[in-house]
Structure 1
Amino acid sequence: MNYTVQRMWIKRSPTAREAWEKMLKDAGIRGEEQVEYTVGVYDGDKLVATGSRFKNVLKCIAVCKKYTGGEVVSLLISHLMSEVFDAGFTSCYVYTKPESVQSFGYLGFKEIERVGEDLVFLEKAVFGFDDFLKKLQKTKVPGERISGIVMNANPFTKGHLYLIETAAKESDVLHVFVLTEDLSAFPSAVRMDLVKKGTAHLSNVIVHETGDYMVSAKTFPSYFLKEDRDVTEIQASLDAKIFKNHIAKTLGITTRFVGEEPLSFATNIYNGALKKIFGDDLRLVVIRRKESDGEVISASRVRQYMKEDRMEELKNLVPDTTYAFLQSEEGKIIQKKLKEEEM
């Protein structure tokens, strides 16, 4: 068979989008907007497979039943992987169903973790998960009370600082993980720097990047999960399993601290799923959120104040180190971008 791979301009061409959506629907999955490159595999004029990528994550992969398990799948995935690596990434990730794992295994993907029959997280990387864990291992510090926190810090607020300071008082060592993914208003490098500067006075705190191993809701592919299953719970379960079975074991972490989320229904579900997966193996401690003027201090509140030019009021919401950044040229550029988003 002579198959061809062609780009599908699903955001420009109604015809291409219709064909794409039909193929996904026939495969029992839903389309999603968070893709930046989509291709189709054609047998003559007939579309027989499609796949997309968002950064270094493969998404929306569907193959006609008649063509599964053969050359078409290999051609599709190999093409998407080439696109990922040609874009400068050194790793490629995919979330798939258990029945598809073998096909990806033939192409060099390794399983990181799975959630029952719902989801398997795989990677193909120059420096992969094992290397990430080896790097973490070098930061391991002995102690009886080793704890962890995972945060986005978009940006770092007095709420984040309160959570870290509270956890640090109850820990010999506290490992703080800042989400690496660069999809937030504040770039990853800035968020990391603000957390490090804001916690510099705490001698038992070690700040880490999450790499690609603590999943962001923006890249998590809900498209193939059943409508009647809660996507947030499945995502949280995957995050919890990666943290419990790999990261916590590597660093000797016995407790994870999270902030109470009275304003976020999704985060409440997330915290509940963490508790369920951790069970008796890992303690989950929920800390009540810090307030200012009767309102919970949140990064979203900080960003809103930035949009509204209420910079003086931000002094009550962020540490001095964060406030100094917000007043800098780089901080003003971020403020301008936030304002433009409102238009």
Structure 2
Amino acid sequence: MNYTIQRMWIASSRSQREAWENLLHQASIRTEELVEYTVGIYDGEKLVATGSRYKNVLKCIAVCKDYTGGEVVSLLISHLMTEIFDAGFERCYVYTKPQSVQSFLYMGFEEIERVEDDLVFLEKAVWGFQSFLNELAKKKEEGEKISGIVMNANPFTLGHQYLIETASAKSDLLHVFVLSEDVSLFPAKVRKRLVEEGTRHLPNVRIHDTGDYMVSAKTFPSYFLKEDKDTTEVQATLDAKIFKNHIAKALGITTRFVGEEPLSFATNIYNESMKKVFGEDLQLVILPRKEYDSEVISASRVRKYLAEDRLEELKGLVPECTYRFLHSEEGEVIIRTLKESLKS
């Protein structure tokens, strides 16, 4: 059959938006606003398939029941992959339902990890997850207690530094992973640089990127999960399984350190999910948070002070490297961006 492929302008065309929403609804998929490009495949004037992408992640893949398992699916996925690679990305990812996995495997995707009956995380790349793990394995060092920490550090605070220092003192070697995803106020390169500068006095600490394999809640797709599923729990379980089954094994990590979260319900769910996944195979150590002026030090508190022009008060919240950065031209640009975002 002759199908036509057409970009869908779901943000500006009401008719295309309605057709898109109807097809997603038929496939039991919720709408997802965090998309950059959406395409439709038409049989005549009938929309029979749609898919979107956000950066290098496929999203909102939906196909009419009468058109599944054939040419339409291949046409849709191939088109979206071409869009991603033409945009300069070297890897393509998709989170999907377990029952939809076969279509992606047929298109050359490889499974990274899954969360039981809820979700499967797949990738198509020349230099992909296994290559990432192989590079990590080259950095493996011997020791009786090898530990790990994963952080966003948006920005790097005295709380982050305290967590690393405490874990470092309890470990022969400590691997710290800084979230690579650029969806935070402070760019990934800046966050990693500040962590490196703030831990130079610790000879047993190694700093790594997470690559694309640990994502923030902002970009984790939940549109295909059942309404009664806790998105945070599913994401936390996926992250924990990737860390336990792959990253920890590559580096010989036996302990994961995290800070307790008296203020964050979502992070508490994360910690509980890690406990379940790690079991007895990987020790989870939850450390009390560092406080200043009887209040927990947090990156959100730092950002609040920045927005309120309370820079001098940050001396009790951030290490010297972060304080110095915030007074640099680069730091001032970020502060202005923060203030402008709060106005809109």
Is the shorter-chain TM-score for this pair beyond 0.5, marking a shared fold? yes
Could you list the structure 1 runs, at least 4 aligned residues long, displaced by more than 3 angstroms after superposition. Answer: none
What letter corresponds to residue 153 of structure 1 in structure 2?
A
Counterpart-to-counterpart distance in 2, 1:45 and 1:69: 21
- What residue is the counterpart of 1:249 in the other structure? 249
Q: Confirm whether residue 235 of structure 1 aligns to residue 216 of structure 2.
A: no
The CA deviation at 1:241 is 0.6
Give ranges in structure 2 of 5+ residues lacking alignment. Answer: none
- What residue is the counterpart of 2:173 in the other structure? 173
Q: Confirm whether residue 183 of structure 1 aligns to residue 156 of structure 2.
A: no
Q: Confirm whether residue 199 of structure 1 aligns to residue 238 of structure 2.
A: no
Counterpart-to-counterpart distance in 2, 1:297 and 1:14: 46
Q: What RMSD, in angstroms, separates the aligned Cα atoms of the two structures?
A: 0.7
TM-score (norm 2): 0.99
Query: Aligned pairs, how many?
Result: 343
Counterpart-to-counterpart distance in 2, 1:64 and 1:203: 57
Counterpart-to-counterpart distance in 2, 1:302 and 1:5: 47
The CA deviation at 1:126 is 2.1
- What residue is the counterpart of 1:299 in the other structure? 299
- What residue is the counterpart of 2:70 in the other structure? 70
Q: Confirm whether residue 162 of structure 1 aligns to residue 162 of structure 2.
A: yes
- What residue is the counterpart of 2:42 in the other structure? 42
The CA deviation at 1:36 is 1.0
Contact 1:35–1:59 at 8 Å: present in 2 too?
Answer: yes
Deviations 1:129-188 (CA, angstroms, capped at 9, x unpaired): 011001101111100100000000000000000000010010000000000000000001
Segment drifting more, 13-22 vs 47-56: 13-22
Contact 1:256–1:284 at 8 Å: present in 2 too?
Answer: yes
Counterpart-to-counterpart distance in 2, 1:182 and 1:7: 26
The CA deviation at 1:295 is 1.0
The CA deviation at 1:247 is 0.5
Counterpart-to-counterpart distance in 2, 1:103 and 1:126: 19
The CA deviation at 1:283 is 0.5
**SS in structure 2 at match of 1:340:** helix
Structure 1 residues 328-343: aligned runs within 5 Å: 328-343=328-343
Give ranges in structure 1 of 5+ residues lacking alignment. Answer: none
TM-score (norm 1): 0.99
Deviations 1:254-291 (CA, angstroms, capped at 9, x unpaired): 00001111111111011100100000100001111111
Counterpart-to-counterpart distance in 1, 2:302 and 2:57: 30
Counterpart-to-counterpart distance in 2, 1:164 and 1:252: 18
- What residue is the counterpart of 1:222 in the other structure? 222
**SS in structure 2 at match of 1:202:** coil
Percent identity reads 74
**SS in structure 2 at match of 1:9:** coil
Contact 1:176–1:207 at 8 Å: present in 2 too?
Answer: yes
Counterpart-to-counterpart distance in 1, 2:19 and 2:263: 40
What letter corresponds to residue 266 of structure 2 in structure 1?
A
Counterpart-to-counterpart distance in 1, 2:256 and 2:169: 14
What letter corresponds to residue 336 of structure 1 in structure 2?
R
What letter corresponds to residue 225 of structure 2 in structure 1?
L
Segment drifting more, 211-220 vs 137-146: 211-220
